[in-house]
Amino acid sequence: MDFLADYAGFLARTVTLVVAIVVVLVVIASLRSKGRRKTAGQLQVVKLNDFYKALRERLESALLDKDQLKALRKQQGKTEKKLKKSADSKGRVFVLDFNGDIKASATESLRQEITALLTLATPKDEVVLRLESGGGMVHSYGLASSQLARIRQAGVPLTVCIDKVAASGGYMMACIGEKIISAPFAILGSIGVVAQLPNLNKLLKKHDIDFEVLTAGEYKRTLTVFGENTEKGREKFQQDLDITHRLFKSFVAHYRPQLVIDDVATGEVWLGVAAIDKQLVDELKTSDEYLAERAKTADLYHLHFAERKSLQERIGLAASSSVEQLASRAFDTLSQQRFW
C-alpha cells in the first residue's frame, strides 16, 4: 500500500507539473497574439477526378498482367488525348460538404466556399452539396439556407446529396437544390418547429425562494425557467411557433412547388424509399455513386475553407488532449495496481 501511495503522489506531481507548463505556454501565446489580426483561413481545392483515377489504376495494376496493363494504358492514353481536345466543352462540378450541428457552425466555412466558387461558376457548371444535418436553431439554419440560395440566384445548378439525414433545418437547406438525391435509408422531413424548456417555479416556491422577472414590453418574456408562467404567455409563445412554422412551410413550398406541403409539413420524418413517393427527393442514390458518374464527363473540384487556428488555440487543444490522455493513463494504471 505504501508503494501505491508513493506512486499516486508521483503521478499527482507529474500532472501538476504538466498543467503548470501548459498554463505558462498558453499565457505566452496569449501575450504574443495580443494586437494581432486574426489569421485568415485558406481555401483548399482537390480535384476528385485524380482520386477516382488513382483508385482505378491501383485496382487495374493488381488484377491485370503486364501485357494487359500495357494495352489498357495505351488505350487510356488515346482517350485522354481526345478529351483534352474537347476540354472546352467539359463541365465542372464544385463539391461542398456541410455537416450540421445545432448551431449550423459549418455555415462559416460554407459562406466562404460559395463566395469563392461564384467568382468562376457559370450556368454550365454544377454545385453538389453533400449535406448531413438533423436541424437546429431557426436563425442559424436560416442563414445557411440563404447562402445556398445565392447559388440558385446566380443561375448555377445546385444538386443536394443526402446519405444519412436532412431533417428540419437540414431539409430547409436541402429543398433549395434543383435536384435532391437521397440514399435509400436516409432520414428526411421533420418540417416542423419545436421549443421546450423546464419550469422550476413550483420547486422554488416549495423552498420559499422568490424569483422575479421584470420586463419592459408586454411580450418581452413569454415563458421562463424560474418565473411563474401564465396562460397568456403560453398562448403568445405558441403563436410565435405557429408563425415560424408557416414561414418554414412557405419557404419549402417556394423551392419545392411539387410538394403537397400540408401533407409533409407535419413534423414527421420519412426514409428515402418513402420520401421519394412524397416528392421530398427526386432520386435514390448515394453521393458516392452520383459523383463517380459525374467524374466520367466533368471535372470535379472539392472545395473546403479551412480556418487557421491561432497559436493559442493550437496549444490549448494540444494541452487539453495531453492532460486527458495523461489522466486517463494514470487512472488505468492505478486501477490495474489495485486489482493486482
**Residue positions annotated with a catalytic role:** 168, 220
Residues 102 and 157 in one domain: yes
Mean pLDDT of 37-41: 61
Residue 235, domain member (yes or no): no
Residues 185 and 325 in one domain: no
Residue 206, domain member (yes or no): no
The packing angle between helices 231-255 and 138-153, to 10°, is: 20
Residues 161 and 299 in one domain: yes
Residue 154, domain member (yes or no): yes
pLDDT at position 333 is: 43
Residues 273 and 136 in one domain: yes
More confident residue, 154 or 17: 154
Residues 84 and 130 in one domain: yes
Residue 148, domain member (yes or no): yes
More confident residue, 71 or 119: 119
Residues 25 and 84 in one domain: no
Q: Enumerate the H helices of 64-189 as residue ranges.
A: 66-85, 107-117, 138-153, 169-174
Residue 25 belongs to what H/E stretch? helix 2-33
- What are the tens digits of pLDDT across the range 124-174? 999 999 999 999 999 999 999 999 999 999 999 999 999 999 999 999 999
Residues 117 and 172 in one domain: yes
Residues 90 and 157 in one domain: yes
> Containing domain of residue 161, as a range?
42-190+268-306
Residues 26 and 117 in one domain: no
pLDDT at position 272 is: 97
The pTM of this model reads 0.76
291 within 8 A of 94, measured Cβ to Cβ: no
pLDDT at position 331 is: 42
Domain count, the chain: 2
Residues 155 and 88 in one domain: yes
Confidence of residue 335 (pLDDT cuts 50, 70, 90): very low
- What are the tens digits of pLDDT across the range 221-265? 898 899 889 999 999 999 999 999 999 999 999 999 999 999 999
Q: Residue 15 pLDDT more than 70?
A: no
**190: Cβ contacts below 8 Å, ≥ 6 apart:** 134, 135, 167, 168, 171, 267, 268, 269
